Amino acid sequence: MSKNSTNSFISLLVGLMLGGILGILFAPDKGNNTRDRLTFRLNKYKRKLENLIDDIIDEKDDINSEAKINSEKVVNKAKNKAEKLLKDVDGILSKIKEN
């Protein structure tokens, strides 16, 4: 999930939560019922937010793992090329010394 879409999703959740809270607070109902509904909705949004945070953390870990694997591949490839170049240079130096 990109940073922009994550921010949009969080903004949407916050907006829905605030809208739900205001709707419940201004609804004509008994105080006890209003508090129960408010508590239920807040817990629901809390779970959604916790799941979103877990998803973001998992995605970050996946990206970090992938980056580490890719960087190791690049380093190994560069190392192999450097070793080959060193062998070529040694071969050229040997030929120069022979002549």
Domain range list for the chain:
3-98
The tens digit of pLDDT for each residue in 51-93 reads 888 888 888 888 888 888 888 888 888 888 888 888 888 888 8
The tens digit of pLDDT for each residue in 25-35 reads 777 777 788 77
Average pLDDT on 11-25 reads: 80
Distance, in Å, from the CA atom of 72 to the CA atom of 83, rounded to the nearest integer, reads 16
Whether the pLDDT of residue 1 is over 60: the answer is no
Output the pLDDT for position 41.
83
Distance, in Å, from the CA atom of 32 to the CA atom of 35, rounded to the nearest integer, reads 5
